[in-house]
Structure 1
């Protein structure tokens, strides 16, 4: 029994790594490659749209619930297939010169993001189905460990590997071929080492109607987004921006609100009319749970205060506090990232003793209070807690060329924030896993994770407006208020959340 448990948790860690690896390859790493290739900022900005599949993966996640690939078992076949196709796509894009073949490069980048989002949907469902209730806490922590380590490799170490002075002087095509090999190895690992799921219920819907429904919803969402971007946004900008105190920024918020208000109901109406039964069935199955709607609201608000405070963290530290880029980089990307991993592992261990409800409540309080550290930093300024000298180092995979002095207050605030945020992330993932039912776990987890991103989408534009209008100290105090709705919802939902500890 213990060996089987260890097997499950090790596989979850490794699959978490495979899930996180492609994210930067269609984001930060790709942008660095395009910059070195001499493309304009406007072109690079346009290509950030290739990340849209991560937002809309809930549209095709029901197909992963409805259809199983033969021979490989439920969920495992989809994970291995997307990993193998990712390996092929990464190898293919490494053969393309973005400066002279921008069209094929963009198409392959979009394909990589689509396959990565599909791998996430299949893996999220597999993790939710595989882990029993008593292993969700550790599973969520180890998943975060693997995912964050992958982000360090593809979103951090890759930059060092292509640096001729600090790293190995590899080219970006060589780096992408290396990651293609890693994804190929992940596909083999999935097939050979991941446990098969026990026979579980599958949606008993008409597969042909699901395919037609998916196509119809995709067209409806595309038309809705096109209408907002090409018609509504320019009209509102021309009408309201000149009379708005902060130019077009408030109008951008209005456009975002109108877009959500249009596209979401349009997609739901189309899914019903086109009989996309697995999508609608997954939603209806979720809504049968006690407190289902209130839990959806909790998912939006749980990480909202945390997301609000860190949405403008880099501008605050660089321009508001005048820390050097080296200080911010070492504090945030070295100490901060590893402390967030430590926080996730600590959160998983605490959840085993506290249970899901008490862990969610405690970590929500800690996340909110950690925002006060940035308020204190904005009020007190630099030099309040001395300084720490970080010597130069070269660990082969990461290097600091010269010694760097870190402000003690900055380091303390970053440490507390990342530890608390890591604990909250682990509990949040365990909570979403507990809400999913096996027959529809891909659909439901994709919908829940998309909903959790709504808050982050909103706070980005809103945070910039409020920071300019209120100043940094008031901005961080306001972020504390953004944490309060989640606490109220947690107390209200204590019974339903506590029952999830023993439910599967």
Structure 2
């Protein structure tokens, strides 16, 4: 049950909490999280190493980061995953599992396509394949998030979030350090060896089979009667598909075609004295708002001309947002502000973390080994501990605890700034930071899951997950300037104080007791 943006915390015994780890749905999320964690680094850091080894210029490698834009804009096509069935396979597997299978097969196809392209000979083809992988991977994330929320009651969401995060981190480790290690082992040619990278990416595609096997083994979750995705005729299906293609095309074309104008305006703003990070954020936000407005305008025009039924547009793109505000009323804006600020302390600090380590004189190998060793272990431990504590004490209490830990560990960075280059302190700081991040992430994912309505799970969660980094990323753009002006110790203490904002919002929501209607 939800009350004013709070979940109704149910206290359970330690035995009940521990037994929840062995619930089939909880174990399922470990494997689905692994499947979700595989593609992201294969379109980011691992691909960057491949391209650089192939002699691609740094500027061109930077442009490849656009391949992951799908992660930021996944809310644009999330409604279609909620509402549109896939021909034939949805009838056999259900709405969630059919989309999950399609997205996983698409990830495998994109990885195989990348493996068959040598960037030295066809850099454009590699870019297209990378964009396809980003889109397929973001789609898989949307479906897995929706499946997690739909498949279990609210009291299991903490555990499911914890195992999902654990699986995701393991998948990232396999696709990051594991892929690089494999490519290095296979490489038999001095210099660039395309064959080694080809085998590596084919191997990563094969690893995705674990996700497909999981998809066939899991049951389709129950959704509210009368609110599942149903289209009455072939015409309904074609109209729905046409609506999505038209809206997505309008959004994408407006966003990408505004690039040159946006760069020009940003240059003018910087020349007039505006900070480059602020100018970039304002222009980026303007492009996003313009693209969304263009997509919405096209949807309105299609509706006005009766090419698409008004009810279909309302159910697809208006109803998910109206549902959220109807359920939470005036408190909805407070909830959205909490979503936008909960990760503010760790995101703003995190931008400067590795720079701080280097400035203290730590070697790259020391930072990497401790981050991958202690860091990964403590993130997994934090996630599982967070899930256990959520089962024992409820989401809101652990959400508050996670906020305290995330802000409090920033103080350790300030202490480290005073101690200087001490390897033991580096281990303590990285361990504490990752442990707190694991607990906070598990609680936050469970909280976001509790806010969604099962009628619009994919759409609402995609929107929440897209907006949760917007404000933190804006402020993080000033982190370097802040360090230059204040020094590391004061900067880290300042980021800890930023964490007071979400804590105050959690307390405020805790004192608001009017009953709201239960999400359906």
**TM superposition score normalised by structure 1:** 0.87
3-state SS of paired residue (1:79)? helix
Which of 409, 413, 418 in structure 1 is aligned with 2:434? Answer: 418
Q: How does 1:77-226 map to 2 (within 5 A)?
A: 77-164=98-185, 171-191=196-216, 193-200=217-224, 201-202=227-228, 207-226=237-256
The answer to whether the Cα contact below 8 Å between 2:223 and 2:454 also exists between their aligned partners in 1 is: no
3-state SS of paired residue (1:311)? helix
Deviation, structure 1 residue 19: 1.0
Give the Cα separation in 2 of the matches to 1:426 and 1:65.
24
The answer to whether the Cα contact below 8 Å between 1:214 and 1:271 also exists between their aligned partners in 2 is: no
Give the Cα separation in 2 of the matches to 1:88 and 1:128.
27
Deviation, structure 1 residue 264: 4.6
Deviates more, 1:304-313 or 1:155-164: 155-164
Offset from partner CA, 1:11-36 (integer Å, 9 cap, x none): 11111111111111111111111111
Offset from partner CA, 1:79-109 (integer Å, 9 cap, x none): 0111122212211221111110111111111
Please say if 1:362 is aligned against 2:401: yes
Deviates more, 1:433-442 or 1:460-469: 460-469
The equivalent of 2:283 in structure 1 is 255
The equivalent of 1:27 in structure 2 is 44
3-state SS of paired residue (1:162)? helix
Deviates more, 1:205-214 or 1:143-152: 205-214
3-state SS of paired residue (1:108)? helix
The equivalent of 1:240 in structure 2 is 269
Please say if 1:50 is aligned against 2:58: no
Deviation, structure 1 residue 267: 4.5
3-state SS of paired residue (1:52)? helix
Deviation, structure 1 residue 421: 0.9
Deviation, structure 1 residue 467: 2.5
Aligned length: 477
Could you say if the C-alpha distance between residues 184 and 235 of structure 1 is closer, same or farther in structure 2, counting changes exceeding 3 Å?
A: same
Could you say if the C-alpha distance between residues 498 and 487 of structure 1 is closer, same or farther in structure 2, counting changes exceeding 3 Å?
A: farther
Give the Cα separation in 2 of the matches to 1:167 and 1:136.
47
Give the Cα separation in 1 of the matches to 2:249 and 2:81.
19
Give the Cα separation in 2 of the matches to 1:497 and 1:152.
43
Deviates more, 1:254-263 or 1:326-335: 254-263
Give the Cα separation in 2 of the matches to 1:67 and 1:56.
19
Give the Cα separation in 2 of the matches to 1:497 and 1:58.
31
Please say if 1:489 is aligned against 2:510: no
**TM superposition score normalised by structure 2:** 0.85
Please say if 1:75 is aligned against 2:101: no
The answer to whether the Cα contact below 8 Å between 1:372 and 1:477 also exists between their aligned partners in 2 is: yes
Which of 358, 369, 376 in structure 2 is aligned with 1:337? Answer: 376
Deviates more, 1:490-499 or 1:9-18: 490-499
The answer to whether the Cα contact below 8 Å between 2:320 and 2:460 also exists between their aligned partners in 1 is: yes
3-state SS of paired residue (2:323)? helix
Please say if 1:321 is aligned against 2:360: yes
3-state SS of paired residue (1:39)? coil
Could you say if the C-alpha distance between residues 459 and 269 of structure 1 is closer, same or farther in structure 2, counting changes exceeding 3 Å?
A: farther
RMSD over aligned Cα, in angstroms?
A: 2.8
Unpaired runs of 5+ in structure 2? 1-15, 304-312
3-state SS of paired residue (2:384)? helix
The answer to whether the Cα contact below 8 Å between 1:272 and 1:280 also exists between their aligned partners in 2 is: no
Deviation, structure 1 residue 139: 0.5
Give the Cα separation in 1 of the matches to 2:292 and 2:489.
36
3-state SS of paired residue (1:195)? coil
Give the Cα separation in 1 of the matches to 2:229 and 2:40.
30
Deviation, structure 1 residue 227: 5.6
Give the Cα separation in 1 of the matches to 2:484 and 2:251.
34
Give the Cα separation in 1 of the matches to 2:362 and 2:480.
20
Give the Cα separation in 2 of the matches to 1:476 and 1:499.
39
Give the Cα separation in 2 of the matches to 1:427 and 1:274.
41
Give the Cα separation in 2 of the matches to 1:494 and 1:149.
35
Give the Cα separation in 1 of the matches to 2:121 and 2:283.
35
Q: How does 1:268-283 map to 2 (within 5 A)?
A: 268-272=296-300, 274=302, 276-277=313-314, 278-283=316-321
Deviation, structure 1 residue 464: 2.6
The answer to whether the Cα contact below 8 Å between 1:250 and 1:465 also exists between their aligned partners in 2 is: no
Give the Cα separation in 2 of the matches to 1:116 and 1:36.
25
3-state SS of paired residue (1:152)? helix
Give the Cα separation in 1 of the matches to 2:84 and 2:513.
31
Give the Cα separation in 2 of the matches to 1:4 and 1:153.
23
The equivalent of 2:349 in structure 1 is 309
Kindly indicate whether structure 1 or structure 2 has the higher relative contact order, using CA contacts under 8 Å at least 6 residues apart: 2
Deviation, structure 1 residue 204: 6.6
Q: How does 1:385-400 map to 2 (within 5 A)?
A: none
Please say if 1:469 is aligned against 2:485: yes
Deviates more, 1:194-203 or 1:175-184: 194-203
The answer to whether the Cα contact below 8 Å between 1:161 and 1:167 also exists between their aligned partners in 2 is: no
The answer to whether the Cα contact below 8 Å between 2:46 and 2:176 also exists between their aligned partners in 1 is: yes
The equivalent of 2:424 in structure 1 is 408
